[in-house]
Amino acid sequence: MKILVAIKRVVDYNVRVQVKPDGSGVATDGVKMSINPFDEIAIEEALRIKEQGKADEVIVVTIGSNDSQQQLRTAMAMGADRAILVETTAAVQPLHAAQVLLKVIEHEQPGLVITGKQAIDDDNNQTPQMLATLWNRPQATFASKVEFVEDNKINVTREVDAGLETIQVELPAVVSTDLRLNEPRFVKLPDIMKAKRKPLDVQSIDELVPAPKGTAIEVLKHESPQPRQKGVMVETVDELIEILKDKGLAS
Amino acid sequence: MSKVLILAEHNGSTINQSTAKVLTAAKQLNADNIDVLVFGNDSGLATQVAVLNGVNQVHYVQCDDNHDQLAASIAPTIADMAKNYSHIFGPSTTFGKDVMPRVAALLEVNQLSDVMEIIDANTFKRPIYAGNAIITVKTDTTQIVATIRTASFPADKSSDGQASVAESSLSTAATHTKFVTLASGNSDRPDLQTASKVISGGRGVGSKENFEIVYNLADKMGAATGASRAAVDAGYVPNDMQVGQTGKIIAPDLYMCFGISGAIQHLTGIKDAGTIVAINKDGDAPIFEVADVGLVGDLFKIIPEMMEKL
């Protein structure tokens, strides 16, 4: 079985982004870029499944600019066998991304697709669900545990608001990862060298999906969130309790 | 001319408050018609929705074997029904986030995730980059699919509605997906997402045992309990207590946190709280930048003192 992992190059999660003064976007020039943290977890999970002998190959795919090759190389240094870059300079919205990934799936025929639950830039949390829908296959979102129960069935424990829900899905399926699924491995220097020789196939988005369906959502304006009013520091518990009582928050 | 269809959420016996919050958002559209869709196996759920003022009709779809919670099972029915509506809204909870993009894909539209403000029938605001930027977005597709950020809208509290109920049964149950089990946190305390007061602990609490004093204070104040990711990862508390970008986004009147430094990802989850109170040993902790009231000190001294004085 092949596992396909979809990843995204995003602004590193430690960077505090700033909205550009003209409201046209956020400033990303010269900002550190990384693999979306949830996608790193997806790569790690695919590698662990392969190490258990349940998969033969891990293919990592991304849609983005040529710079995304860096993130694909990192994924291969972690252990992915090969990579596919679907190149585009435009921002791609989830429905379009799902159509592109479906084309890759039709070509690669993976038994399992793993991806992060959301990208930390647009915070959409849509692409895996949309991909599963277009593929007409089951989904297991927000996964914190993936267990093979039979050759073609997995039990996935999902982090839901009420606690932990377990569902069983037949493969092929799309799994989206939550933070607690695993701890991604660190990349070792020799593996970075090895990853440079692994195959990286570049395709054009327009050739893959010449006429994407659906309209993109138009972004009119970016703005900074309303700053909170400056707070006060108190010295004692008594002062704190007094403020709470004044506001009617304690009795 | 807006016609809104709302996907209701419930736990099997009670309608989740997120439904009443989505209703508040739907009313802001000045819609001509608001209908609610309930999947479940207890028709009493439909009755609970029918009393909400402003709901015209409740579509109750009877489901067996927990298919009401499975996105792949219910999305085709929602998408089919959605053809008669301009807006299809679900809550931005794990349930809504799981289902709604499937509906959107079936309708061939992108979804508006986590809508925090409604400007008009086609224009909305939503947060990106963990809430560090707000975007105004516009879409004029025939069907607009959105999840509503529950922390941004108050729950509709009306109970004098008289919506009619139309019953049917689920014809689109997926054969490839099966519900196995749900292990819930089983807390007697108020629900984290809807509580008016929340008391949270972070890594500074130090251990699972030490969290007892946080629970004690919460019980004393009638508050729900939350936690930072660090506390969850360290095994002090279950993951359903996590507040933040990857956990729950909450907007209580009072958010009081002990031993939480205030990483960006955590702040995303509490930005809309009424009053934020931070207690931390480290006076330079970033949490103090957003706190309305800050107190530098040891939580193991401060909590007992608060217990005594409250």
- CA gyration radius for chain A? 21
Shared domain for B158 and B98, answered yes or no, is: yes
Give me the residue from A123, A159, A235 closest to B130, CB to CB: A123
pLDDT confidence of A217, banded at 50, 70, 90?
very high
Looking at the structure, tell me whether residues B162 and B297 fall in a common domain.
Answer: no
Burial A113-138 (b: 16+ CB within 10 A, else e): bbbbbbbbbbbbbbbbbbbbbbbebb
Give the type of residue at A204.
S
B17 & B152 share domain: yes
pTM, to two decimals: 0.92
Amino acid at B72: A
A28 — contact with chain B (CB < 8 Å)? no
Does residue B160 sit in the same domain as residue B241?
no
- Most A CBs within 10 Å, among B74, B98, B257, to test the A interface: B98
For residue A60, the SS3 value is strand
Cα of B288 vs its chain's centroid, Å: 26
- Note whether B160 and B254 are same-domain residues: no
- Please check whether residues B226 and B133 belong to one and the same domain: no
Domains of chain A plus CATH, in order, are 2-218 (3.40.50.620)
Q: Are residues B155 and B17 in the same domain?
A: yes
Number of Cβ pairs < 8 A linking chain A and chain B: 241
Nearest Cα to A207, choosing from A55, A117, A104, A56? A104
Secondary structure E strands in B64-169:
87-91, 111-115, 117-120, 123-128, 133-138, 144-148, 164-169
- B chain contacts of residue A222, beta-carbon cutoff 8 Å: 133-135
Asked whether A164 and A128 are in contact (CB, 8 A), the reply is: no
**B155 and B208 housed in the same domain:** no
Buried-exposed string B207-222: b where 16+ CB fall within 10 A, e elsewhere: eeebbebbbebbeebe
Checking if the pLDDT of A151 tops 90, the result is no
Residue B185 belongs to some domain of the structure: no
Output phi, psi for B13, to 5 deg.
-130, -25
pLDDT score at B186: 62
Residue B53 per-residue DSSP state: T
What stretches of chain A show up as alpha helix (H) in DSSP?
37-51, 69-78, 94-108, 127-135, 189-195, 205-208, 237-246
Residues B99 and B209 in one domain: no
Do B119 and B27 reside in the same domain of the chain? yes
Find the domain containing B288 and state its range. Answer: 197-309
| ipTM of this complex | 0.94
B190 occurs within a structural domain: no
Q: Cβ contacts (< 8 Å) between B281 and chain A: which residues?
A: none
Query: Cβ–Cβ of B185/A166 closer than 8 Å?
Result: no
Restricting to B residues 100-139, those with a Cβ less than 8 Å away from any Cβ of A are: 100-102, 104-106, 108-114, 123, 127-139
What mean pLDDT do residues A52-66 have? 97
Residues A74 and A83 sit within 8 Å (Cβ to Cβ): no
Residue after which a domain boundary falls, among B122, B151, B169: B169
DSSP A187: P
The answer to whether the CB atoms of B294 and A234 lie below 8 A apart is: yes
Q: How does DSSP assign A76-111, residue by residue?
A: HHHT-SEEEEEE-SS---HHHHHHHHHHHHHHH--S
Q: Do B182 and A179 touch (CB under 8 A)?
A: no
pLDDT truncated to tens, each residue of chain B (310 aa)? 799 999 999 999 999 999 999 999 999 999 999 999 999 999 999 999 999 999 999 999 999 989 999 999 999 999 999 999 999 999 999 999 999 999 999 999 999 999 999 999 999 999 999 889 999 999 999 999 999 999 899 999 999 999 999 999 999 999 999 999 998 866 778 889 888 999 999 999 999 999 999 999 999 999 999 999 999 999 999 988 999 988 888 989 999 999 999 998 899 899 889 999 999 999 999 999 999 999 999 999 999 999 999 8
Q: Residue B159 is part of a domain; what is its CATH number? A: 3.40.50.620
Cβ distance A169 to B176 less than 8 Å, yes or no, reads: yes
Assess if residue B179 is contained within a domain. no
Other CB atoms within 10 Å distance of the CB of residue A76: 25
Q: Are both B204 and B160 inside the same structural domain?
A: no
Query: What CATH number does residue B243 fall under?
Result: 3.40.50.1220
Q: Is B238 exposed, middle or buried (0-12, 13-18, 19+ CB in 10 A)?
A: middle
Q: Which residues pair with B295 in a beta bridge?
A: A234, B279
Determine whether the interchain pair A231/B294 forms a contact, defined as Cβ–Cβ distance below 8 Å.
Answer: yes
Percentage above 70 pLDDT, chain A: 100
List, as ranges, residues 197-236 from B with C-beta within 8 Å of A. Answer: 197, 221, 229, 232-233
Number of domains in chain B: 2
